[in-house]
Amino acid sequence: MLVHPDKCHLPQAAEAFKLVMKAAEHIATADGNVPPEDLDSADGPKWWQVWDETPAETEKKRKRTEEDSDVQERILKQCSSLSTEDLQKRVAVMQHSVLRPSEGSLEGSLSMLQRQTLLRNARHLLAVRLSAHDAEASLRSQPEASAGGFL
């Protein structure tokens, strides 16, 4: 800041800096907004969000985030109930829909970032299924040990 006492060597700099900080605190705490010390917290709102959003917009965004989470959960539950082959097809469709979601689909209501996250989770589910399938197949292909002794 230009009036910070460490940067400005004018005699009134310290007093001006205190006034600026007091004004900033007053603005940030007016109308129930977040205090200045919370503006830079990792999980709290950022200063531009606090200043730009009304409480109604903040509530609308919170509800939208909850709805999007519900949509993602629903899609992943659907994916977990699919067979491995159907899951492979579904992942291919999801991969295509990251950039071009089909109209009216559940994925179409999500942002691109949310679609990417959903695809990543579905791919992980598919990878787990395929590795379990491969492990099962390798166990079946091994000859059974002869009963009753050492080789």
* C-alpha pair distances (Å), 54 with each of 101, 106, 144: 31, 28, 69
Statement to judge: residues 32 and 85 lie in one domain: no
Q: Helix, strand, or coil here: 95?
A: helix
Q: What angle do CA 42, 47, 50 make, to 5 degrees?
A: 105
Q: Domain limits at 96?
A: 61-140
So what's the pLDDT on residue 127?
Answer: 92
Of the candidates 30, 34, 68, which has an alpha carbon nearest to the alpha carbon of residue 48?
A: 34
pLDDT in tens, 47-63: 555 556 677 877 888 88
- The verdict on residue 147 lying in a domain is no
Of the candidates 101, 97, 95, 109, which has an alpha carbon nearest to the alpha carbon of residue 65?
A: 109
- Contacts (Cβ under 8 Å, ≥6 apart) of 42: none
Q: Report d(CA 75, CA 145) in Å as an integer.
A: 44
Statement to judge: residues 41 and 65 lie in one domain: no
Around 13, how many Cα atoms within 13 Å sit in the side-chain half-sphere? 11
Number of domains, the chain: 2
What are residue 115's phi and psi, to 5 degrees? -65, -40
- The verdict on residue 113 lying in a domain is yes
- The verdict on residue 145 lying in a domain is no
So what's the pLDDT on residue 39?
Answer: 52
- The verdict on residue 7 lying in a domain is no
Statement to judge: residues 128 and 86 lie in one domain: yes
Statement to judge: residues 35 and 65 lie in one domain: no
pLDDT in tens, 105-118: 777 777 888 888 88
Averaged pLDDT in 10-residue chunks for the chain of 151 residues: 77 83 73 54 55 74 81 84 90 86 78 85 90 85 60 54
Statement to judge: residues 135 and 65 lie in one domain: yes
By CB neighbour count within 10 A (0-12 exposed, 13-18 middle, 19+ buried), where does 98 fall? middle
Q: What percent of the chain has pLDDT over 70?
A: 76
Statement to judge: residues 89 and 133 lie in one domain: yes
